[in-house]
């Protein structure tokens, strides 16, 4: 991974761009367009064994198309013409592989569906970003029927994954993409209405509204904006927990008579039922859902060094929480296979994605200095990893040590470190 640059942040920027271009894959199998994998090819992955799930277990994601990875990395990748085309191609691959009922799957392989669970509601956001960045984006989107297919997906989510509080259900911790997150891990599938899935749905409605507006469909745009407002209001009403001063996750229970019976939580050492704490409880900040007083409480929690604010970036569980741990992997029971298996750890480690969302939250709420500091911590962590190991990892501990994977370089949404540097005005070398 040699580069002619000498400044660590410039080396990082150059490496992220160069290696992400190596993640572009040609059409293959069901994928009729160029598409983006989260990692560059590895020697062992060049045999064409795309269906080998064991490669996923060891951290080799080179053969799969991942919903959230593509969507969020497109925020940065669309600044490059080639990567913008591959991002739009990835969107079309997802749409082409959707079920007749509108379901877009979260992970696709060239020859089959890898996971049948639906994608997060991030596909319209991906579409809007890619369409803005490519030539004749709106015309090409119309030709490929992007808007009607995205509307069919949102209709599927509304029909199939709406819980009994009127909020979206998270299919599972695995399907959330945050495998070991404490608000969903180990609980039955389709039983949790969490702040993450619903925040993404609010953002998805808004993206659909903007896309419809640009395509001249004012009625659909108005409908989507109304749905976004209704869902945001419902989240603020039902998921805000006053004593915890945070958003919580709910599980509907027949005959529940007390508040805590439906809140995903635990008994603390004093025997008091407490909502479980997770970084996803801060995500409503990104969509501007909480009012000023509630936002101030969440930001205070985010910026507490004993809680989420770590030296390498945002911790995914607070440091002073009994469930905080920064192991590379976690064993989770998989009901599909009837056995436990290793999954990525979102119960304490630092992920660039979580740091990026909180960076945007800090920007939105007028905390420019803290956003700048978070951008620097994030980029420094990656730059030091690159300097000392020659690779990049998908998550880190507080000391900045890369936790996973043990081989290969994880790109995906790590490219957002460049976005953060640029938006914070930290690197003159980042165009």
pLDDT digits (tens, 9 = 90+) for 137-151: 999 999 999 999 999
pLDDT of 3: 54
* pLDDT tens string 410-430: 999 999 999 999 999 986 444
CA–CA separation, 180 and 172 (whole Å): 10
Q: What is the mean pLDDT of the chain?
A: 93
Q: Could you give the dihedral angle defined by the CA atoms of residues 350, 381, 286 and 154, in that order, rounded to the nearest 10 degrees?
A: -70
CA–CA separation, 155 and 224 (whole Å): 11
Query: Is residue 335 over pLDDT 90?
Result: no
Top-confidence residue, 114 or 327: 327
If you search the block for the tokens 């439906």, which residue do you land on? 262
DSSP-assigned letter for residue 26: -
pLDDT of 258: 82
pLDDT of 54: 64
Which tokens sit at 153? 């997906």
CATH topology of domain 161-297: Glycosyltransferase (1.50.10)
Residues 6+ apart with CB under 8 A from 166: 234, 238
pLDDT of 7: 87
pTM of the full structure: 0.95
Query: Is residue 343 over pLDDT 80?
Result: yes
pLDDT of 426: 87
Closest CA to 385 of 371, 405, 355, 370: 405
**Average pLDDT, stretch 330-359?**
93
CA–CA separation, 47 and 196 (whole Å): 37
CA–CA separation, 198 and 352 (whole Å): 21
CA–CA separation, 16 and 8 (whole Å): 12
* Domain chopping of the chain, boundaries: 31-143, 161-297
pLDDT of 281: 98
CA–CA separation, 49 and 63 (whole Å): 8
């Amino acid at each position: 991974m040699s580069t002619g640059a000498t400044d660590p942040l410039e080396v990082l920027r150059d490496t992220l761009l160069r290696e992400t271009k190596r993640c572009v894959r040609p059409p293959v199998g069901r994928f009729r367009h160029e598409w983006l994998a989260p990692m560059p090819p590895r020697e062992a992955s060049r045999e064409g064994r795309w269906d080998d799930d064991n490669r996923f277990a060891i951290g080799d994601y080179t053969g799969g198309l991942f919903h959230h990875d593509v969507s969020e990395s497109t925020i940065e990748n669309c600044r490059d013409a080639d990567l913008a085309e591959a991002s739009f191609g990835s969107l079309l691959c997802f749409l082409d592989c959707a079920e007749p009922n509108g379901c877009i799957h979260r992970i696709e392989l060239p020859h089959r569906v890898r996971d049948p669970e639906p994608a997060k509601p991030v596909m319209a956001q991906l579409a809007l970003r890619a369409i803005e960045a490519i030539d004749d984006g709106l015309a090409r989107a119309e030709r490929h029927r992007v808007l009607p297919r995205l509307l069919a997906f949102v209709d599927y989510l509304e029909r199939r994954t709406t819980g009994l509080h009127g909020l979206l259900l998270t299919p599972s911790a695995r399907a959330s993409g945050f495998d070991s997150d404490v608000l969903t891990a180990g609980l039955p599938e389709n039983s949790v209405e969490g702040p993450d899935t619903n925040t993404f749905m609010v953002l998805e409605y808004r993206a659909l509204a903007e896309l419809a507006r640009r395509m001249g469909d004012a009625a659909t745009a108005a409908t989507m904006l109304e749905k976004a407002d209704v869902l945001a209001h419902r989240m603020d009403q039902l998921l805000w927990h006053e004593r915890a001063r945070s958003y919580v996750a709910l599980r509907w229970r027949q005959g529940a008579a007390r508040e805590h019976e439906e809140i995903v939580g635990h008994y603390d050492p004093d025997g008091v039922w407490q909502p479980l704490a997770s970084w996803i409880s801060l995500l409503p900040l990104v969509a501007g859902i909480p009012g000023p007083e509630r936002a101030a409480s969440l930001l205070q929690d985010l910026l507490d060094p004993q809680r989420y604010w770590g030296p390498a970036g945002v911790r995914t569980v607070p440091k002073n929480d009994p469930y905080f741990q920064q192991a590379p992997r976690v064993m989770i029971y998989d009901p599909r296979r009837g056995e436990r298996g290793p999954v990525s750890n979102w119960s304490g480690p630092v992920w660039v994605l979580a740091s990026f969302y909180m960076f945007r939250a800090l920007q939105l709420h007028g905390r420019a200095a803290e956003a700048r500091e978070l951008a620097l911590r994030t980029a420094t962590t990656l730059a030091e990893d690159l300097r000392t190991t020659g690779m990049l990892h998908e998550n880190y501990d507080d000391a900045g040590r890369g936790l996973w994977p043990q081989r290969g370089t994880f790109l995906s949404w790590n490219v957002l470190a460049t976005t953060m540097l640029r938006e914070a005005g930290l690197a003159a070398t980042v165009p």
